[in-house]
């Protein structure tokens, strides 16, 4: 991959896509301190991001996993399909052991936890802009282990057996949304969401909808606690 040409005084133009205004503001300030980087725009959801990419033509997109309307994974897949040369970096609070590989498969070029030092964020941005792939040592080792001698490491968590859409449905169940509400959110039929729910129950070894709801609620609560 060739390095995108920097405009505006040699500074690479970056679009931030995150549903938290405070984080977007802080990240924009951090990026603005670098003499080779600048923020050209912000968006809080999938549709806003797609419009901003079309209007602003950024050199890089920074994406969170959770957006207001759809998953950041869906955004990464769509951008990778329609703007294949546009590098994307995920900066998220979500556990990298569960989401990093999903993001890379979708088309992202890097994954950084929000808890990491600011120096790591800028380093990751520059590394991805230069054509590289950025990931923590833990993620890199896990991915490489899957290819060594054709072996596949066992999943650290049953949640890792879920597909991208299944994990999204599982999260929304844990946020208290009904099947019809999830269908509206994901633009899918109630029947399709019901099918995803059954698959999740089977993969996680859960007996009924009550167990699924309790499991999902507990997971979402742990996620929130880990974010402080």
> What average pLDDT does the segment 102-110 reach?
94
Tokens describing residue 190: 């109630």
The domains found in the chain, sorted by start residue, are 12-145 (3.40.50.2300), 158-226 (1.10.10.10)
Instruction: Kindly list the strands in the beta sheet with 60-63, ordered across the sheet, starting from the edge strand earlier in the chain.
Output: 37-43, 12-17, 60-63, 88-92, 110-113
Q: What is the model's pTM? A: 0.78
First-last CA distance in the chain: 37
pLDDT of residue 92: 86
Can you tell me the distance from the alpha carbon of 72 to that of 53, in angstroms, rounded to the nearest whole number?
Answer: 14
Confidence of residue 6 (pLDDT cuts 50, 70, 90): low
Helix axes 96-106, 72-82, angle to 10 degrees: 20
pLDDT of residue 225: 66
Is 80 exceeded by the pLDDT of residue 106?
A: yes
The residue ranking higher by pLDDT, 79 or 227, is 79
pLDDT in tens, 45-79: 999 999 999 999 999 999 999 888 788 999 999 99
Strand 110-113 to 37-43 pairing: unpaired
Do residues 113 and 64 touch, judged by C-beta distance below 8 A?
no
pLDDT of residue 148: 73
pLDDT of residue 128: 96
Q: What is the mean pLDDT of the chain?
A: 87
């Amino acid at each position: 991959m060739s390095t995108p040409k920097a405009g505006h005084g040699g500074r690479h133009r970056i679009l931030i896509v995150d549903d938290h205004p405070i984080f977007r503001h802080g990240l924009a300030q951090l990026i603005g301190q670098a003499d080779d980087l600048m923020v050209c725009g912000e968006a809080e959801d999938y549709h806003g991001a797609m419009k901003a990419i079309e209007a602003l033509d950024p050199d890089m997109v920074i994406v969170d996993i959770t957006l207001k309307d759809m998953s950041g994974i869906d955004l990464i897949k769509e951008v990778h399909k329609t703007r294949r040369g546009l590098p994307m970096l995920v900066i998220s609070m979500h556990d990298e052991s569960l989401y990093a590989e999903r993001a890379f498969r979708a088309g992202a070029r890097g994954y950084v936890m929000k808890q990491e030092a600011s120096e790591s964020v800028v380093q990751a941005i520059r590394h991805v802009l230069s054509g590289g792939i950025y990931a923590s040592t833990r993620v890199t080792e896990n991915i490489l282990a899957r290819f060594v001698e054709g072996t596949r490491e066992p999943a650290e968590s049953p949640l890792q057996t879920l597909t991208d859409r299944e994990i999204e449905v599982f999260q929304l169940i844990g946020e208290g949304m009904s099947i019809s509400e999830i269908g509206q959110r994901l633009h899918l039929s109630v029947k399709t969401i019901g099918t995803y729910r059954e698959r999740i129950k089977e993969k996680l070894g859960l007996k009924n909808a009550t167990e699924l709801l309790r499991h999902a609620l507990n997971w979402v609560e742990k996620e929130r606690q880990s974010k402080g």
